[in-house]
């Protein structure tokens, strides 16, 4: 199957180095301390953050840092065929672990000992790149909650089909069986926190694809900063500054 036409267009009309359209909204869940909806093309994800608050299970309390908990779920209606997903299935558990450890790298947990921060992420529409969208949404939600972070974490995926590196794969391109590289970076520090890859790739091509994904992450970071600036201006207006 041809994923890149001879003119250089992908299945949805994008160029190989082009990202999908991004859209973000803060404060979607009014009850939560911080929340955000993040869309990357057709992938739509909602994140809610509760914290810092009292630790619910005293035995799990950490004396020098905040305890971070994360839960990733996919709504039953998120994929094409409505599937009843078991809550603790392996993929969800692994992605929850990955998101938690990624956010732990950027949250300044030593400022909030004996407390707990909960991050809940749910996928409303899944069209490839759900992991990346979840991390971006979690970053926005944490910023909305006012939790101190040393840097934003942004994430993007890239692949390699028809001998072309492609940025931001959608579901069709992802399920084609080609390699899928998901990268999460700290943009200001220019460091890689999350890196996941599956399927085979020769090492030099891998370097190109990782570089492309990192560029995509930086583009997402610029967009997130704009959104946060806009939000802060609105808050200033409401306060009458």
Partner 1 sequence: MEQRLANSLIMTVNEKKFIESALLSDIRVDGRRPFDYRNLTIRFGSEDGSSEVQLGQTQVIGFVTGQLTQPYRDRPNEGAFSIYTEFSPMADLSFEPGRPGESAIELGRIVDRGLRESRAVDMESLCVIAGKLVWSIRIDLHIIDNGGNLVDAANIAALAALSTYRRPECTLGGEDGQEVIVHPPDVREPLPLILHHFPVAVTFGFIGKENTVVIDPTHYEESVMGGSMTATLNTNGDVCAIQKAGGDGVLQSVIMQCLRIASVKAGDITSKIKNAVESYNTQRSLKKIKRHNPDQHHSSDVAKNHMERLTVGSDQSVTGSQFNEPDTTNKRNSTLKSFSGGPASWDPYSKGVDGDELRTSLASRVAPVDKQKEESSQVNPETKSSPKSSDTNSLASINKVGSEIKQSKTLKDAVKPKHKRRNKSNAK
Q: CA-to-CA distance for 220 and 186, rounded, in angstroms?
A: 11
Cβ-count burial 82-91 (b if 16+ within 10 Å, e if not):
eeeeeeeeee
Q: Is 158 near partner 1 (CB under 8 A)?
A: no
Number of residues that bind partner 1 (CB under 8 A): 45
| C-alpha torsion sign, points 106, 112, 118, 124 | negative
For 155, the enclosing helix (H) or strand (E) is strand 154-161
Contact with partner 1 (CB under 8 A) among 13, 80, 86, 88: 88
Cβ-count burial 150-167 (b if 16+ within 10 Å, e if not):
ebbbbbbbbbbbeeebbb
C-beta of 21 vs 175, nearer to partner 1: 175
C-beta of 29 vs 70, nearer to partner 1: 70
From 39-47, 90-98, 120-128, 230-238, give the range in contact with partner 1 by CB under 8 A.
90-98
From 78-86, 136-144, 185-193, 233-241, give the range in contact with partner 1 by CB under 8 A.
185-193
From 43-51, 74-82, 136-144, 180-188, give the range in contact with partner 1 by CB under 8 A.
180-188
CB of 198: closest distance to partner 1 in angstroms?
A: 4
Q: Is 202 near partner 1 (CB under 8 A)?
A: yes
Contact with partner 1 (CB under 8 A) among 83, 199, 229, 235: 199
**Phi and psi at residue 54, to the nearest 5°:** -65, 140
Q: Exposed, middle or buried: residue 235 (CB in 10 Å: 0-12, 13-18, 19+)?
A: exposed
Distances (CA, A) of 74 to 91, 93, 152, 192, 197: 10, 11, 24, 26, 21
From 18-26, 162-170, 177-185, 228-236, give the range in contact with partner 1 by CB under 8 A.
177-185
To the nearest 10°, report the CA torsion of 36, 41, 44, 48.
Answer: -20
**Phi and psi at residue 112, to the nearest 5°:** -130, 65
CB of 146: closest distance to partner 1 in angstroms?
A: 22
CB of 213: closest distance to partner 1 in angstroms?
A: 11
From 36-44, 119-127, 196-204, 225-233, give the range in contact with partner 1 by CB under 8 A.
196-204
CB of 7: closest distance to partner 1 in angstroms?
A: 30
Binding site for partner 1 (CB under 8 A): 59-60, 67, 69, 88, 90-91, 93-94, 96-105, 177, 179, 181, 184-186, 189-203, 206-207, 210-211, 214
């Amino acid at each position: 199957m041809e994923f890149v036409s001879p003119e250089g267009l992908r299945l949805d009309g994008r160029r190989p180095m082009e990202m999908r359209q991004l859209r973000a909204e803060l404060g979607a869940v009014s009850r939560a301390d911080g929340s955000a909806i993040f869309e990357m093309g057709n992938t739509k994800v909602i994140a809610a953050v509760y914290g810092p608050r009292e630790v619910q299970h005293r035995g799990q309390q950490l004396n020098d840092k905040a305890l971070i908990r994360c839960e990733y779920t996919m709504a039953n209606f998120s994929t094409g065929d409505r599937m009843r997903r078991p809550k603790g299935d392996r993929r969800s558990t692994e992605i929850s672990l990955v998101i938690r450890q990624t956010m732990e790298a950027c949250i300044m947990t030593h400022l909030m000992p004996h407390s707990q921060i909960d991050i809940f992420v749910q996928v409303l529409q899944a069209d490839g790149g759900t992991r990346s969208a979840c991390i971006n949404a979690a970053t926005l939600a944490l910023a909305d909650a006012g939790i101190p972070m040393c840097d934003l974490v942004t994430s993007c995926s890239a692949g390699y089909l028809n001998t072309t590196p492609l940025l931001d794969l959608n579901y069709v391109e992802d399920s084609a069986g080609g390699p899928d590289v998901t990268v999460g970076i700290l943009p200001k520090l220019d460091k890689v926190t999350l890196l996941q890859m599956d399927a085979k790739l020769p090492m030099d091509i891998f370097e190109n694809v990782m570089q492309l994904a990192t560029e995509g992450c930086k583009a997402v970071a610029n967009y997130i900063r704009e959104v946060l600036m806009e939000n802060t201006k609105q808050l200033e207006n409401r306060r009458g500054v």
